[in-house]
Amino acid sequence: MKVKLLTLIVLFAIFATGCNAPDNSSQLIQKYDAISKIMVRNALTNRTGYKWLKDFLKIGPRLSGSPGNFKAIEWIKNKMKEIGLDSVWLQECKVPHWVRGNVEKAWLLNNKGEKIKALHIADLGGSIGTPPKGLTGNVVEVSSFEELKMLGPKAKNKIIFFNEKFDYGEVNTFIAYSKAVKKRVYGAIEAAKVGAKALLIRTVGSSYDNKPHTGNMHYAENVKKIPAAALGAIDSDYLSSVLRHHPDYKIKLKMNCKNLPDTISYNVIGELRGSKFPNEVIVIGGHLDCWDKGVGAHDDGAPALQTLETLDLIKRLNLKPDRTIRCVLFANEENGLNGGKTFGKYAANDKNEKYIAAIESDRGAFTPRGFSVKANKNVLKKIQSWLPVLNNALIDWIKKGGSGADVGQIKNVIASIGYVPDTQRYMDLHHSANDTFDKVHPREMELGTAAIATLVYLISQEGL
Amino acid sequence: MKVKLLTLIVLFAIFATGCNAPDNSSQLIQKYDAISKIMVRNALTNRTGYKWLKDFLKIGPRLSGSPGNFKAIEWIKNKMKEIGLDSVWLQECKVPHWVRGNVEKAWLLNNKGEKIKALHIADLGGSIGTPPKGLTGNVVEVSSFEELKMLGPKAKNKIIFFNEKFDYGEVNTFIAYSKAVKKRVYGAIEAAKVGAKALLIRTVGSSYDNKPHTGNMHYAENVKKIPAAALGAIDSDYLSSVLRHHPDYKIKLKMNCKNLPDTISYNVIGELRGSKFPNEVIVIGGHLDCWDKGVGAHDDGAPALQTLETLDLIKRLNLKPDRTIRCVLFANEENGLNGGKTFGKYAANDKNEKYIAAIESDRGAFTPRGFSVKANKNVLKKIQSWLPVLNNALIDWIKKGGSGADVGQIKNVIASIGYVPDTQRYMDLHHSANDTFDKVHPREMELGTAAIATLVYLISQEGL
């Protein structure tokens, strides 16, 4: 009963102002304004994606190649069928297969070799383990790559403690992160180059606790592979202070993480076929993999499900998009980007379809702020002209900028777009045990769904 | 050392572009852009207001006339002196003195009069208590004032259960609140008019739990005063479902809250005197009182301290504002507005000073979104021209709109302005036991301080 009334209201909203009326700007705004308001209200009231999220996160961690990854693929596939999409398929891709193992320990030892304190660490993704009995060494603290490179022989056989702090003064936490993350990605290479035998980095995140943030790290050819882990922020300050007084104290590390041979995983793809221009495609998506210390609630469970709920929202409002909307849940954003790359190649070779837009949601599920658009001037201007409609879902701006790691792999697209919610709390959780369901607020998540759905529907009806 | 370097940078930022250069728009933006970025970085890094908040909230609840209210007045006064303001004073005002008491209980009784379940209630502020032994009655559920008014004799001697739900579909939670709150404010009057003996309302808030939100209620002359309380959201659904099957079940209420004679409280006022135009005044403030179920972290502890930290931030950056900046921490926003009214009268009679602007922070301390301005077109336009500077602190818009309950009492002001942060989580906490320190995020609170400080500094230097 409720649904039928809603359908009528939506139909009224579509036709009241005349579908074929000349689309001058204010008429266009008026037409979509009503629909977008219904989307917002429906998303906020039903909380469908939020309910999905609660169930989805019960799978646990979903790192590529892990049992959780395959369960997530099944879950998404089934949900796409349940929604009643026009087609659902899996797209195979090769992914790295790193396993954390069950030993992830660090201790501070005094100069008699006695254990003084257990420290909170998280092995970095891709790291090798230590020898089975562990690895012990003196510690050298640095706070920059310059310092590290200048250590010379002092670093020989030492454990490097890279204690560079997160820049709390930076208003955009993603910029602060991009500065801080270099030590995680390249630290082991540079530490090995100066002869270190292991790397401990200060956790890359904005929370002040002992739940260190993991994340991908790199090795380089012809440079020795050394174990690498992140140390909790509180323990990092503790260690730094101890070392000032006792530079001879040591660290013992015991980690049995390892890299297994690459394995097969899948992008999960589902779409609503366009009723007028089925060969014009709008891609929306996020990634289904996540790091394994938490359950990837904000990175990228909720945002990925926002894009999936977008299709459900369009279906449940009985809207018939003119263009095809294809949701791609990418397999491997966290440690390889092979899901994105595979889809990017597929799109490049896809001669039957025209890729109009690709929208990624991978910056958490906090309150909407804007969209970041990579497109030519005219396309950007067209999307910006829709701001009054998108503002119904609290989108305050549409700016030129990057989109996202996965959809950025689709090169033959007119507009590559990133959904941008508020970032202030995100780096507290990102890649850590803090990234759990209770951190997602239903209203904030659902407003994001409504924002994405509004933009997707505008593109599907108006083209780019 | 750090401070000195900072001072130099700030001075450079002020003078580099030439203080007396013609202030065309882009030069003006450039000049203040550097200062506002320093404000943002300083606030985010030092977290001064956030540290104050932790200490301030240890006082506990601060309802007007309560011991906590007086402790808060002392705390603020001392902090103003510590900051080194040019003058600090108290402004006396009469306030209501309502006391919750130590009995606040409700039970569901079956048709044998046996207690089936204890229910979670919060007495509404201003309510009378029940007789000492409690009050028992049959329950009539309504969901609107229309339904309530139409009850007629059916309501006679009953307990009215006003179970109107919060509108989750409304994107602006303050609008949803303003619809839902009418039953809290006027419910007891209308229930008494149809002969009811008590009122239970569904909690006015967006959290789904059993921590009911309290808040002010009214009685009317010549209408019988009846006890009124809010019932937790979960218990409201429970009660509604029980009543469907057992309309003869009763509620027993036992409340010993009471209204004592009006008492004296104080606005706490501190200011930095303007160096060029000391008689031109910018008022900034929030309220120091709060409801007593939580400790008023978001309502209005953190926002009030944002305005106080604004002065500290200006002082610690060694800025010398041209106009006077006066911080007023109002005594009685929650149940009488007597702090705001007293200051409003004082300002109206203040013939020596010109009130340029009044900025209120009383919508929580979440991430900044905008400023809502009540002023004439030209003034609004001037403030809007500063948006690129304010955007450094994540202010995305400046719109015509209301300011705040307290500063709204200052009628002889050029611009009355409300600081508007994100609203999505606010009504989960507002007036409830959920409103505690852990709900405030340091970055979100400090960005608000930086936003307010930037606007205040712009007004102090550029006038309105």
Segment B12-62, tens digit of pLDDT? 555 544 444 445 688 999 999 999 999 999 999 999 999 999 999 999 999
Which among B332, B437, B441 has a CA at the least distance from the CA of A439?
A: B441
Confidence of residue B201 (pLDDT cuts 50, 70, 90): very high
pTM confidence score: 0.95
Q: Which H or E run includes A230? A: strand A228-231
Residue B25: predicted pLDDT: 82
Confidence of residue A116 (pLDDT cuts 50, 70, 90): very high
Contact B44 A443 (CB under 8 A): no
Confidence of residue A355 (pLDDT cuts 50, 70, 90): very high
Please compute the mean of the pLDDT values over residues B308-326 and round it to a whole number. Answer: 98
Residue A103: predicted pLDDT: 98
pLDDT tens digit string along A221-267?
Answer: 999 999 999 999 999 999 999 999 999 999 999 999 999 999 999 99
Indicate if the pLDDT at residue B170 is higher than 90.
yes
pLDDT tens digit string along B351-371?
Answer: 999 999 999 999 999 999 999
Residue A6: predicted pLDDT: 58
SS3 B245: helix
Residue of A nearest to B394 (CA): A171
Which among B348, B357, B339, B269 has a CA at the least distance from the CA of B79?
A: B269
Residue B1: predicted pLDDT: 44
N- to C-terminal Cα separation, chain A:
36
Please compute the mean of the pLDDT values over residues A189-194 and round it to a whole number. Answer: 98
Q: Are A59 and A72 in contact (CB under 8 A)?
A: yes
- Buried residues in A256-273 as b, exposed as e (16+ CB within 10 A): bbebeeeeebbbbbbbbb
Residues of A in contact with B5 (CB under 8 A): none
Indicate if the pLDDT at residue B346 is higher than 80.
yes
Indicate if the pLDDT at residue A13 is higher than 90.
no
Peptide bond into B248 cis (omega under 30): no
Q: How far is CA B192 from the centre of its chain?
A: 29
Q: What is the residue whose two structure tokens read 């309950």?
A: B405
B171, B398, B426: best to mutate for the A interface, most A CBs within 10 A: B171
Q: Which residues of A, range 358-387, sit inside 8 Å of B by Cβ?
A: 367, 369
Q: What is the residue whose two structure tokens read 């013939």?
A: B351
Residue B14: predicted pLDDT: 52
Q: Are B392 and B368 in contact (CB under 8 A)?
A: no
Strands (E), B322-452: 323-330, 354-360, 368-374, 397-400, 413-421
Q: For A202-329, where are the alpha helices, taking DSSP H only?
A: 233-245, 302-316
Q: Are A77 and A83 in contact (CB under 8 A)?
A: no
Q: What distances in angstroms separate CA B92 from CA A382, B126, B336, B407, one per listed residue?
A: 57, 22, 14, 17
- Amino acid making up residue A383: I
The tokens describing B457, both together, are 């500094």
Interatomic CA distance for residues B363 and B76, integer angstroms? 20
Which is the catalytic residue, given A271, A309, A333, A444?
A: A333
Residues of B in contact with A447 (CB under 8 A): 171, 424
Q: What distances in angstroms separate CA A407 from CA A63, A124, A279, A361, A433, one per listed residue?
A: 19, 25, 18, 10, 27
Percent above pLDDT 90 for chain B: 94
Interatomic CA distance for residues A350 and A430, integer angstroms? 34
Q: What distances in angstroms separate CA A72 from CA A55, A77, A87, A360, one per listed residue?
A: 11, 8, 18, 19
Q: Are B374 and B415 in contact (CB under 8 A)?
A: yes
Please compute the mean of the pLDDT values over residues A7-22 and round it to a whole number. Answer: 51
**C-beta atoms surrounding A92 within 10 Å:** 11
Please compute the mean of the pLDDT values over residues A271-285 and round it to a whole number. Answer: 98
pLDDT tens digit string along B156-169?
Answer: 999 999 999 999 99
Of A293 and B23, the one with more pLDDT: A293
Q: Are B163 and B236 in contact (CB under 8 A)?
A: yes
- Total residue length of chain B: 464
A170 interfaces chain B, CB cutoff of 8 Å: yes
Burial of residue A146, with CB atoms counted within 10 A of its CB: 0-12 exposed, 13-18 middle, 19 or more buried: exposed
The tokens describing A9, both together, are 């209201």
Q: CA geometry: angle at A185 spanning A182 and A191, to 5°?
A: 90
Q: Are B282 and B289 in contact (CB under 8 A)?
A: no
Indicate if the pLDDT at residue A20 is higher than 90.
no
Peptide bond into A209 cis (omega under 30): no
pLDDT tens digit string along A26-71?
Answer: 899 999 999 999 999 999 999 999 999 999 999 999 999 999 999 9
Residue A82: predicted pLDDT: 98
Q: Is B333 a catalytic residue?
A: yes
The tokens describing B3, both together, are 């401070």
Question: Between chain A and chain B, how many beta carbons pairs sit less than 8 Å apart?
Answer: 64
SS3 B114: coil
Percent above pLDDT 90 for chain A: 94
pLDDT tens digit string along A193-234?
Answer: 999 999 999 999 999 999 999 999 999 999 999 999 999 999
A462 interfaces chain B, CB cutoff of 8 Å: no
Residue A25: predicted pLDDT: 82
Interatomic CA distance for residues B366 and B299, integer angstroms? 11
pLDDT tens digit string along A47-56?
Answer: 999 999 999 9
Residue A1: predicted pLDDT: 44
Q: What distances in angstroms separate CA A99 from CA A103, A335, B21, one per listed residue?
A: 11, 12, 63
pLDDT tens digit string along B268-281?
Answer: 999 999 999 999 99
- DSSP labels, B28-49: HHHHHHHHHHHHHHHHHHH-HH
Please compute the mean of the pLDDT values over residues A364-383 and round it to a whole number. Answer: 98
Q: What is the distance in angstroms between the Cα of B46 and the nearest Cα belonging to chain A?
A: 9
- Amino acid making up residue A207: S
The tokens describing A3, both together, are 């649904």
Which among A304, A315, A274 has a CA at the least distance from the CA of A459?
A: A274
Indicate if the pLDDT at residue A18 is higher than 50.
no
Residues of B in contact with A396 (CB under 8 A): 369, 396-397
pLDDT tens digit string along B412-422?
Answer: 999 999 999 99
Residues of A in contact with B169 (CB under 8 A): 40-42, 44-45
Residue of B nearest to A39 (CA): B169
Interatomic CA distance for residues B124 and B200, integer angstroms? 9
Q: Are A418 and A403 in contact (CB under 8 A)?
A: yes
Contact B396 A397 (CB under 8 A): yes
B429 interfaces chain A, CB cutoff of 8 Å: no
Q: How far is CA B343 from the centre of its chain?
A: 17
Interatomic CA distance for residues A18 and B214, integer angstroms? 48
Q: What is the distance in angstroms between the Cα of A424 and the nearest Cα belonging to chain B?
A: 6
Residue of A nearest to B173 (CA): A443
Which is the catalytic residue, given B164, B333, B360, B444?
A: B333
Interatomic CA distance for residues B116 and B250, integer angstroms? 10
Please compute the mean of the pLDDT values over residues B321-336 and round it to a whole number. Answer: 98
Please compute the mean of the pLDDT values over residues B455-461 and round it to a whole number. Answer: 98
Residues contacting A59, CB < 8 A, separation 6+: A68, A71, A72, A75, A295
Residue A17: predicted pLDDT: 41
Q: What is the residue whose two structure tokens read 């309530």?
A: B148
Angle, nearest 10°, between helix axes A67-83 and A48-56?
150
The tokens describing B16, both together, are 């580099």
Q: What is the distance in angstroms between the Cα of B172 and the nearest Cα belonging to chain A?
A: 9
Is the dihedral angle over the CA atoms B167, B173, B178, B182 positive or is it negative? positive
A422 interfaces chain B, CB cutoff of 8 Å: yes
Interatomic CA distance for residues B318 and B11, integer angstroms? 9
A2, A171, A172: best to mutate for the B interface, most B CBs within 10 A: A171
Residues of A in contact with B393 (CB under 8 A): 171
Please compute the mean of the pLDDT values over residues B252-278 and round it to a whole number. Answer: 98
Q: What is the distance in angstroms between the Cα of A446 and the nearest Cα belonging to chain B?
A: 10
Partner residue opposite A367 with nearest CB, options B397, B422, B447: B422
Q: Which H or E run includes A36? A: helix A25-46
Indicate if the pLDDT at residue A22 is higher than 90.
no
Contact A369 B396 (CB under 8 A): yes
Residue A12: predicted pLDDT: 57
Contact B443 A206 (CB under 8 A): yes
pLDDT averaged over every residue in chain A:
95
Q: Are B279 and B350 in contact (CB under 8 A)?
A: no
A41 interfaces chain B, CB cutoff of 8 Å: yes
Burial of residue A99, with CB atoms counted within 10 A of its CB: 0-12 exposed, 13-18 middle, 19 or more buried: middle
Interatomic CA distance for residues B61 and B69, integer angstroms? 8
Residue of B nearest to A206 (CA): B443
